[in-house]
Amino acid sequence: MSEVDQLCPNCGLCCNGVLFADVKLRKGDDAKRLAELGLPLEKKGRQQAFAQPGGCFDGKLCRIYAERPVRCRTFECGLLKRVQAGELGADAALGTIVQAKRQVEKVCELLRGTGSDDERLALSHRYGRAMSEPVDLSGGETSAGLPGKLMTTYRDLMQTLQRDFLK
């Protein structure tokens, strides 16, 4: 079994809007074909892009894997690279993925608690939106403390992602 087969179906963090908010098309991509496959392409500056999490991700795997964009074909996170290089065992990497996903779930729980969550958006956009809302003091101390808790939990997650996946 390849390292990709061992890790990626258990992870999905580069497809589900946690590591990235969008994917920009690159030279070699057929925008017309990708749009036919269901990617909601839009202009981002001079480039075409689609927002994550798009309909291309089924929660575990890419629905259009054989025809996925160039950026998706060429991206390998730091964790995968370290396993491929023999610097880290697959079991240890799977443990890191489980931990990171737990942190994501904690952030999502807090986002749901803010009442301004939209799971169709990338995590960074959901977080930005929640933090820009006025603090609701009607729920007492618990809801008043929510933004601070969300901020520290999100910061911890970003540190994990930077350290384990983006380096």
- Neighbouring-strand partners of residue 49: 24, 42
Binding string to ligand SF4 for residues 18 to 57, with x set by CB under 6 A, is what? Answer: -x---x----------------------------x-x-xx
Q: Which of 6, 22, 44, 64 binds ligand SF4 (CB under 6 A)?
A: 64
Applying CB under 6 A, the span of 41-49, 65-73, 121-129, 143-151 interacting with ligand SF4 comes to 65-73
Q: Minimum distance from CB of 141 to ligand SF4 (Å)?
A: 37
Question: In what order do the strands lie in the sheet containing 47-51?
Answer: 22-24, 47-51, 42-44
Site for ligand SF4 in 70-109 (CB under 6 A): 72, 76-77, 79-80
Contact 56, 45 (CB under 8 A): no
Nearer to ligand SF4 among residue 69 and residue 114 (C-beta)? 69
Residue 18, token pair as written in the block = 């946690």
- For residue 117 the two structure tokens come to 């969550």
Tokens standing for residue 162? 């930077």
Under the binding rule (CB under 6 A), the answer on residue 13 touching ligand SF4 is: yes
Q: Does 62 bind ligand SF4 (CB under 6 A)?
A: yes
Give the DSSP letter string of 48-88. EEEESS-TTB-SSSBTTGGG--HHHHH---HHHHHHHTTSS
- CA proximity to 130, closest of 159, 154, 164: 154
- Stretch touching ligand SF4 by CB under 6 A, among 13-21, 24-32, 108-116, 143-151: 13-21
Q: Which residues bind ligand SF4 (CB under 6 A)?
A: 7-8, 11-15, 19, 23, 52, 54, 56-57, 62, 64, 68-69, 72, 76-77, 79-80, 165
